[in-house]
Amino acid sequence: MTVVYEDNHIIVVNKTASEIVQADKTGDTPLSETVKQYLKEKYQKPGNVFLGVTHRLDRPVSGLVIFAKTGKALTRLNEMFRTSEVKKTYWAVVKNAPQEPEGELVHFLVRNEKQNKSYAYDKEVPNSKKAILHYRLIGHSENYYLLEVDLKTGRHHQIRCQLAKMGCPIKGDLKYGSPRSNPDGSICLHARRVRFIHPVSKELIELEAPLPEGNLWKGFTIEDTEKTY
């Protein structure tokens, strides 16, 4: 766990691909407990440490996760995520080049709880939720392409599902059509940047996560990634 930002009300960490954000049936120690322990030791706090989970990343995904250190911050952040006021930008490594270097994807996703998988449809179908993202081709290597993705909605497995529907499954993502898994069980999807108004101080917060270790992420020729929101 790497702390990217911390103040009295929030803490933002760079999650590794193997970590779960919240406790689940695996029984593995979640990132939320690791952060709590970090705060307990850093500030020598007796008893329980308050930490609010504001959003999640899938276990095989790496990158920025925002936690609330106070109840006030948690309430406000929950509302900000609900109304899409927190802007999240992801980087995804794919094997196939998209037909267009930039575009907006609009699908209707249906979640299958038993399979823990979402299915994308071009038109609205029963029990579907509208999913919108914007992608841009920002880099390439000898064998792969690097896409920058801005989420406009927050649906279950949205990026994984929509990119696969476009014919560009994420490297290592067997569930959505990648031919091979990654050795460490990760998928090559990284929550690279977040941008939001601080829930208490009202300052603009812009943060960027370091890229995962390994030659794959370092092997890209990156085009100009300056962007406006």
Residue 57: CB atoms within 10 Å: 21
Structure tokens at 217: 């992420």
- Burial class, 166, CB count within 10 angstroms (exposed 0-12 / middle 13-18 / buried 19+): buried
- List alpha helices for the chain, DSSP H: 31-42, 71-82, 158-165, 215-218
Candidates 59, 37, 57, 56; CA nearest to 48 is 37
- So which residues are the catalytic ones? 58
Q: On the CB side of 51, how many CA atoms lie within 13 Å of its CA?
A: 26
| 189 DSSP β-pair partners | 92
Report d(CA 229, CA 227) in Å as an integer: 7
Q: What are phi and psi of 10, to 5 degrees?
A: -135, 160
* Token pair listed for 80: 């900000």
Selection from 164, 138, 159, 141 nearest residue 216 by Cα: 141
